[in-house]
Structure 1
Amino acid sequence: MISAQLRAARALLNWSQSDLAERTELSVETIKRLERINGTLDATKVSTLSAITGAFAKAGVEFTNGDAPGVKLRKK
């Protein structure tokens, strides 16, 4: 995941940083820090990324990777 995907996923759901923090049980400061990183979040703890991707997956967000990283909402 890259920081732009994190910001884009929040935007798709119209979630604030506080909303994401609440759903992941992470601090708002952690979300802010991750969103400021330029590029990949590879150095982030696995448990932190798992909490974030889990919250987004539960809300219907899918992350795409490869040559064009992005996000999309699953069809209902």
Structure 2
Amino acid sequence: MFGISPMQLIIILVIVVLLFGTKKLRNMGGDLGSAVKGFKKAVSDDDKDADFKADDKVEDNSKNNEQTVQQNVKSESDTKTKSE
């Protein structure tokens, strides 16, 4: 594992615990977990917002298409009426 033996990892872990203490390490772990959770929530909320906006655009386009078709039908009927 990158040239680091398990014994070296244990020594590094002991030094970190001695420097920071277990309480500080627990707090740092909790803070890191909260940060990751918040990041995941923000990403999922952003995806939901993007999907919602896309759905709104599709609905708006459908309504616009229906209005355009109705206007075209009305124009054609008006044109036929005038030509008769």
Q: Which TM bucket (shorter chain)?
A: under 0.3
Structure of higher CA gyration radius: 2
Relative contact order, CA 8 A, sep 6+: which one is greater?
Answer: 1
TM-score (norm: length of structure 1): 0.26
Larger helix proportion, structure 1 or 2? 2
